[in-house]
Amino acid sequence: MIEAFFFGPATQQVFAIYHSPVRGSGEVLTVICPPLFSDYMRTQVALRELAISLAERGQHVLRLDYRGTGDSFGDLSEVAVSDWVEDIAMAVREGRELTGSSIVRLLGVRAGALLACRSVGSSTDVQRLVLWDPVPDGAVYLQVLHRIQVTMLQENYYLSRAERREAMREYAGYHLCERMIEEFRSLDAGVYSTVPKGTLHIVSTSSETAFPVRGVPQDVAPFACNWDTFANELIMPSAVLARLVACLTLS
């Protein structure tokens, strides 16, 4: 069964999709913390397929849209990183109340990995965090978004000088408030080291990916995601999804 619903404060409702376990005891709850902006659009179908695969293996699965994104309440220009971190914590609580699961696992994708680790911190409530191509830190992520914005503007040569100047304030086509930018810059690589090392597992699409915490298990499933360039095509990296399923279902 797949059920869409809202949770959270009345004026700040978060949209979620719940996948119930097809079989088994359903002891495990996996919360999928999606990436942001164009990464969200490109991985939406893949993460849905991942949720279905996990449910078929007996897990409860919850997918969410952060406030100001997707179908959740709020405007992107009025929310910040701290709101998204809170959304993940609320999703875990909501998921546990909904399912009665005692074992919680998180999947964080790209910037969603940074948000998930910030949300969990040193808490022991989450048994495992699987991170798919985690961004190094918030400042580097903003730089990537800025480079994507520059590329987009180079292709839109018809813009006036005033329009181009205004567009240079955006990040990969999105307007972020100052609080959002400041909070992203405050998310350094230390966010990952606050999480108990034994709960972390990395799935990377490139062998060149360097995770800031040493000694964390890392699987490599080669796939050209092109995260750092302007791209809008959907991706369906079957080998990556297979590794994610294996990591999230490992006893």
**Across all residues in the chain, what is the average pLDDT?**
92
Strands (E) in 66-198, as ranges, are: 103-109, 128-132
Q: Quick check: 197 pLDDT over 80?
A: yes
Q: What is the distance, to the nearest Å, from the Cα of residue 125 to the centroid of all Cα atoms in its chain?
A: 19
Residue 154 lies in a domain: no
Find the mean pLDDT for residues 135-148: 94
Q: The whole model's pTM is what? A: 0.94
Q: Quick check: 164 pLDDT over 80?
A: no
Residue 158 lies in a domain: no
pLDDT band at 52 (very low <50, low <70, confident <90, very high): very high
Residue 115 lies in a domain: yes
Contact indicator for 191, 137 with CB cutoff of 8 Å: yes
* Count of beta carbons in the 10 Å neighbourhood of residue 95: 22
Rg (CA), the chain: 18
Range(s) of the domain holding residue 192: 2-136+188-249
Residue 229 lies in a domain: yes
The proportion of the chain whose per-residue pLDDT surpasses 70, expressed as a percent, equals 100
Rounded Cα distance between 68 and 184, Å, is 16
Residue 156 lies in a domain: no
Q: Quick check: 163 pLDDT over 80?
A: no
Residue 170 lies in a domain: no
Angle (CA) 118-122-128 rounded to 5° is 80
Find the mean pLDDT for residues 24-35: 91
The residues facing 130 across adjacent strands are 107, 201
Contact indicator for 78, 177 with CB cutoff of 8 Å: yes
Q: Quick check: 154 pLDDT over 80?
A: no
CATH of residue 13's domain is 3.40.50.1820
* pLDDT on residue 161: 73
Q: Quick check: 121 pLDDT over 90?
A: no
Q: Which of 27-36, 95-104, 105-114, 166-175 has the lowest mean pLDDT?
A: 166-175
Q: Quick check: 156 pLDDT over 80?
A: no
Residue 124 lies in a domain: yes
* pLDDT on residue 83: 96
Q: What is the distance, to the nearest Å, from the Cα of residue 218 to the centroid of all Cα atoms in its chain?
A: 18
* Per-residue tokens: 239: 């080998």
Q: How many domains does the chain have?
A: 1
Q: What is the DSSP string of 198-210?
A: GGEEEEES-TT--
Rounded Cα distance between 100 and 63, Å, is 17
Find the mean pLDDT for residues 99-120: 96
Residue 142 lies in a domain: no
